[in-house]
Structure 1
Amino acid sequence: MSTVSVVLVVFVVSLLFMQFLKLQWMRRRFPPGPTPYPIFGNLLQMNFQIHHEILKKMAKSHGNVFTLWILNNPVVVLQGFKAVKEGLTVHAGDVAGRPVNAVFNFFTHGNGVMFSNGRLWKQQRRFGLATMRKMGVGKKSQEIQLQEEATHLVEYLRKMDGKPLDPTMPVVHTVSNVICSVIFGHRFSEDDENFLHLIESVDTIAAFGNSFSFFVFELFPWFATHFLASVKQAISSKNFVNALLAKEIESHKERRKQNENQDFIDYYLDEIDKTKGDADATYDEENLMQSIFDLFLAGTETTATTLCWALLYMVLYPDIQEKVQKELDAVLGCSHLICYEDRKQLPYTNAVVHEIQRYSNIILIALPRQSLRDTELLGFPVPKNTIILANIDSVLSDPGKWETPDQFNPGHFLDKDGNFVNREAFLPFSIGQRVCMGELLARMELFIIFSTLLQAFKFTLPEGVKEVNTKLVFGSTMKPSPYQLCAIPRVLMDAGVKRSSWGESS
């Protein structure tokens, strides 16, 4: 080896050693955690994934508040109900920021609701919540939309005539059309090419969020955007979504009339006009486009995935499915259109819907927060601009809060008399100032669509299929492995006449 090579090796090793010593010195300012290494931090120990099982093991060694290093950035992890609740609520304002990193900045430019900060975030979120209320979320008008989409899904499944099918795409189409009606004021047909491309694009972007490519992008943005196919695909998908949204916005401008706001875009365009000339206002078309994308991403991926797990659980636990259907039949009958208010008369069905959310736990890790100032979490110092991760999986499976955390058990939400009970550790929508903006809409969707489907069909495994793979597909949301089921139209006996559960003669 030449002298130059030896000098170069010594130089690199010295740099890495100095970086290692620097990391060890910096660690003193944060909660304890595994030893980080230069360049990668703890990513090598984590196999380049923020996985709930890895976090569980680390919590056993380091406690329920511990620090990971992602590259050279400290990340404080909150594990278990007590740590998550106190960490996100005791100093809620201190931990209400979002990280400003390479990926989020590249894809959102700090706009919208999901990844914005400061005054911009507060205005966009406040506007979004107020607009949803104006549009009837939580009221009868919104229920009618949900009932219509549930009916479309029932009709599609009925046409399958009990044949085996993968329910994923029909469910995704249904949930996507709910949010399309809210945002665009119209639904798409299931074979609309733009609609299908929109769903595919959102799925691609969501999958990128917790992938190996995500971390490569953080380390080497230029390299990732030019040489990684997955990054190129995510960028292409975002460009398509932006083009589609721009077209929708232009269409709304052309047909827009004062005092006739029908959907989210109408209300937002009206707000842009109202606040023109206001230097403090953050309403513009860039924020409108990003807010729409945020709503679509948050409003489709999570609800659709939960419903796919719901149908899988009904196939796996036919006794629970039968008990839900008996309650629906006894309380509502065969032709009643399901309302959200009905949950108060259907404690067991309501408990099953909640247990589906708890047990499937599709959002293992809540979207990252960032400390806005020096603060303290459960006695540990947390400096300003520190990323904070709340492990929602550890809350929904906390053995100190759930009697049988590793079992599918609707009894978690029922008292000894069979009445529905809320549980404080039920936090699938997170908690604190960044709690999910669409929580009420999601709750309504899950209850109405799930109950409508079980009112109309008995779900079974295809003939000859004895087992189903219940392992989750790891990504931004935890999806079930692909599976097939049969939707058998239910037939009830009414005054000696066979009738389907939707009131039609057989």
Structure 2
Amino acid sequence: MVLKNLLPFASGLWTETGALLLFFFLFLLIADRLRNTKARNYPPGPTPLPFIGNLFNLDAKQPHIHLTKLSDHYGNIFSLRLGSLNTVVVNKYRMVKEALMDQANIFTGRPTNDVLKRIMKCQGVTFNNGYSWKQQRRFTQSTLKYFGVGKKSLESSIMEEYEFLHQAIMDTNGVPFDPHYFINNAVSNIICCMVFGRRFEYTDQRFLNMLGLLSKALKLQASVWIQLYGAFPAIMDLLPGPHKDLFSCFEQVRDFIKEEVDKHYEDWDSSSPRDFIDCYLTEMQKRKDDLEAGFHEEGLHYSVLDLFVAGTETTSTTLLWAFVYMMKYPEIQEKVQAEIDKVVGRSRRPRIDDRANMPYTDAVIHEVQRKGNVVPLSVPRMTNENTVLGGYFIPKGTQIIPNLTSVLSEETMWKSPNLFDPHNFLNTEGRFEKPEAFIPFSAGKRSCPGETLARTELFLFFTSLLQSFSLSPAVGTQISLDFKFGMTLSPKPFKISFIPR
């Protein structure tokens, strides 16, 4: 009898709960619709789903190619909603130039989301904004210059590291191996000498582990799981998945950096700076009353992390693509080696001054950068104020994706846009000539601050390796141009033989 009397009450309670849940869901749906109502004359684009936007409209394995194809339908400027961020994708050189260079002051912002807030706390240089970004960037550039970037002394540091790399490769005795670890370590050691005041051996497991964590994190950062975290951070925090691995990777890398900073405190002398960390510690003292500039210990950790990402991953990945293309096109490799032999010979190592007399080799390196397309979607920007781009209204706070893939493969800007062809960078007389659409380091006020360092490393490592070795794939294997998409676009793992010449 009691149970019979409770049934109507329970049924009514369930109906009331269901009604509340339905009302709550409808409220969220309406709020999402109102929050994402498009402004008048906003760029067209595919219709987003409630809450998650266009996350599942994209091909997660090759979004740069998919976005380029979407421009065929929606035009060179189109919109998406990625999680909670209203996003505008800008395609082709003319439009990217108008945004990043002609309206440079408006497109200098960096978008913030829950992923970046947790990983970087929007500090350092890359994901910082406003006054703090300007101060951190100015300090970083001047400090790197102080320690050799843009100077002749940098060349000797790179060539000293090359000798360690050369010996490590010689020790393989021509047996095929995965070059990723050697190259990553060698390139990273250049920035390590400036940041930590020392290099790390190729057998240093602690350092190799850090580089591995960094590579893993950059691959994870572009996954759908991370996009979902940006849309539903509170829910995703409760769930297992790759997003937890991403945060763990960055936490471990930060622990490594913190240990190195703590060592510097022990014998730091502000009057005699040994490296970037020493200079930053001094700047922290000078700017302790300027809190908005962000010069504090946490800011130091994130600035060093920025330097590692910018100074390690992109350059080492470009060199890996260079190996792939030289094995894929041995006739081009032979032409490069012939030019090296003619200009440099075998009795000395290449120098940066040789570049002017090596147009074909220079063209090949640039073509590797163009086709390797290591940062295919650049680093996202954000508008600092309302603006008009290509006739469309772009509101303040809109995330901007400059699609560099569309620029580096634009048919009207390149002689052979879809082929690996060094003649894209050579004029009819065989002299090196760089088209204006060559912007792999992005453009404008947010262009990569390490461009000079990267270009110097690429030339010296590439020419020195091809002077010393011939590159060939493992017997019985086919050279693949397949890639892995992450924050950087890298070749799939491969093995290579370095045969002494």
Per the shorter chain, which TM-score range? over 0.9
Q: Could you say what secondary structure the match of 2:38 adopts?
A: helix
What's the secondary structure of 2:88's corresponding residue?
strand
Contact kept? 1:23, 1:38, Cα under 8 Å? no
For residue 230 of structure 1, what is the aligned residue in structure 2? Answer: 242
Which of 52, 61, 77 does residue 73 from structure 2 map onto? 61
| Structure 1 match to 2:479 | 468
| Superposition deviation, residue 283 in structure 1 | 1.5
Determine the structure 1 residue equivalent to 2:395.
Answer: 383
Q: How much has 1:139 moved relative to structure 2?
A: 1.4
Q: Cα distance, 1:12 vs. partner?
A: 6.9
Cα distance, 1:325 vs structure 2: 0.5
Quote the residue 1:173 is aligned against. Answer: 185
2:490 pairs with one of 453, 463, 479: 479
Partner of residue 5, structure 2: none
- In the other structure, the counterpart of 2:304 is 292
Aligned residues between the structures: 489
SS in 2 for 1:401: coil
Aligned Cα root-mean-square deviation (Å) = 2.1
Paired amino acid for 2:341: D
For the residues of structure 1 that align with 2:139 and 2:315, how far apart are their CA atoms?
23
Match of 2:100 in 1: 88
Matches for 1:270-309 after TM superposition, within 5 Å: 270-278=282-290, 281-309=293-321
Distance in 2 separating the partners of 1:469 and 1:259:
52
The aligned amino acid for 2:150 is G
Shift of 1:21: 5.4
Q: State whether residues 59 and 66 of structure 2, in contact with CA within 8 Å, keep that contact through their aligned partners in structure 1.
A: no
The residue identity in structure 2 corresponding to 1:192 is D
1:79–1:391 contact (8 Å) kept in structure 2: yes
Which structure 1 segments of 5+ residues have no match? 491-506
CA contact (8 A) 2:270 2:279 kept: no
Residue 214 of structure 1 aligns with which residue? 226
- The alpha carbon displacement at 1:234 in A equals 1.9
1:107-186 to structure 2, matched below 5 A, reads 107-186=119-198
Q: Distance in 2 between matches of 1:192 and 1:224?
A: 35
User: 1:415: which partner in 2?
Assistant: 427
Cα distance in structure 1, aligned partners of 2:354 and 2:114? 46
CA shift, 1:327, in A, is 0.5
Q: 1:332 maps to which residue? A: 344
Distance change (3 Å), C-alpha of 1:132 and 1:273: same
In the TM superposition, residue 214 of structure 1 has moved relative to its aligned partner by 0.8
How big is the shift at 1:211?
Answer: 0.7
Which residue of structure 2 lines up, in the alignment, with residue 493 of structure 1? none
Q: CA deviation at 1:36?
A: 1.6
The match for 2:406 is 394
Letter paired with 2:264:
H
> Partner of 1:479: helix, strand, or coil?
strand
Structure 1 partner of 2:277: 265
Give CA-to-partner distance per residue, 1:431-458, whole Å, 9 cap, x none: 0110001010000111100000000001
Instruction: Give the distance between the partners of 1:171 and 1:24, measured in 2 at CA.
Output: 45
Q: TM-score, normalised by structure 2?
A: 0.93
Decide whether the 8 Å contact of 2:225 with 2:241 is kept in 1: no
Q: CA deviation at 1:23?
A: 7.0
Q: Does 1:428 align with 2:459?
A: no
Distance 2:171 2:60 in 1: 44
Query: Taking structure 1 as the reference length, what is the TM-score of the superposition?
Result: 0.92
Q: CA deviation at 1:19?
A: 5.8
CA deviations on 1:344-383 (whole Å, 9 max, x unpaired) are 1111111100000001101110111111111122221111
Task: Find the aligned partners of 1:393 and 1:308 in 2 and give their Cα distance.
Answer: 19
Give the 3-state SS of the residue equivalent to 2:57 in structure 1. coil
Instruction: Report if the CA contact (8 A) 1:213-1:228 is conserved.
Output: no
1:26 match: secondary structure: coil
Name the SS for the 2:288 alignment partner: coil
Q: CA deviation at 1:128?
A: 0.5
Deviation string 1:371-401 (CA, Å, 9 cap, x unpaired) is 1111122221111111111001111101110
Among the aligned pairs, what percent are the same residue? 39
Q: Find out whether 1:73 has 2:85 as its counterpart.
A: yes
Provide the C-alpha distance between the structure 2 equivalents of 1:52 and 1:239, rounded to a whole number of angstroms: 28
Say if 2:55 and 2:224, in contact at 8 Å, map to a contact too: no
CA distance in 1, matches of 2:119, 2:29: 34
Shift of 1:484: 1.4
Distance 1:14 1:269, change over 3 A: closer
